[in-house]
Amino acid sequence: MGNAGPNSIFIGAGANLGHPSYGTPRETLEAAFGDLARRGVQILRVSPWYRTAPVPVSDQPWYQNVVIEVASDMSPDRLLATLHDVEQAFGRVRTVANAPRVIDLDLLDFRGEIAPGGPGQAILPHPRLASRAFVLRPLADLAPQWRHPVTHEPIHALLKALPADQVTERL
């Protein structure tokens, strides 16, 4: 796959529960990408799909994860609100942290910007991005030269530092 440019926007997507209308986690996420496109978010590239163990390790079903590169004229905060709107439209119910879900859309990196976040505001880059194999592996497929906007660590170094219990299987 190619490299990301300085204007790249990356969204992480995952699910581990089927949806009654859309089907499997992957089918649900693919339908959500269509909804994003209808809302003005252009899907540029999609990473390979991964089957991933829950983080933290638990007995819940494994996830299907992917990273998409998108283009949008929206601000980071508006894009985050749009992701939340799509999650809600697809039945995401926020209960407890790390609970099983039918859809999860995370704004990972918005053109390398750094933002502290706040109520209704995006934290950039995503605060747990560097510690999650289910995000870093597909992101590395799309952007092998990507560096963390805050620490400037290359993605290969971040991957190497991950704990062994974060199992990812490329599909």
- The answer on pLDDT for 1 being more than 60 is no
Q: Which residue in 65, 61, 77, 40 sits closest to 129, CA to CA?
A: 65
Looking at per-residue pLDDT, the higher value among 96 and 22 belongs to: 22
Determine how β-strand 121-124 pairs with β-strand 104-110. unpaired
Whether residue 67 has pLDDT greater than 80? yes
pLDDT of residue 131: 95
What the block records as the tokens of 47 is 């990473």
Q: CB neighbours of 158 closer than 8 A, spacing ≥ 6?
A: 130, 136, 148
Q: Please state the domain extents for the chain.
A: 9-170
pLDDT digits (tens, 9 = 90+) for 137-147: 999 999 999 99
Nearest Cα to 37, choosing from 1, 86, 81, 75? 86
Q: What is the pLDDT of residue 164?
A: 87
Amino acid at position 99, single letter: A
pLDDT at 98: 78
- Give the residue from 118, 158, 121, 120 showing the smallest Cα distance to 137: 158
Better-predicted residue by pLDDT, 58 or 77: 77
For the cut 60, the answer to whether the pLDDT of residue 52 exceeds it is yes
Question: Cα–Cα distance between 55 and 124 in angstroms, integer?
Answer: 21
In the CATH scheme, what architecture does the domain 9-170 have? Answer: 2-Layer Sandwich (3.30)
- What is the distance between the alpha carbons of residues 17 and 152, in angstroms, rounded to a whole number? 35
Residue 158 has pLDDT above 90, yes or no: yes
Mean residue pLDDT of the chain comes to: 94
Instruction: Take residue 82 and report the two structure tokens written for it.
Output: 């749009």
Provide the pLDDT for residue 57.
Answer: 80
**Residues above pLDDT 70, as percent of the chain:** 96
**Mutual orientation of helices 25-38 and 76-89 as an angle, nearest 10°?**
130
**Residue 2 pLDDT > 60, yes or no?**
no
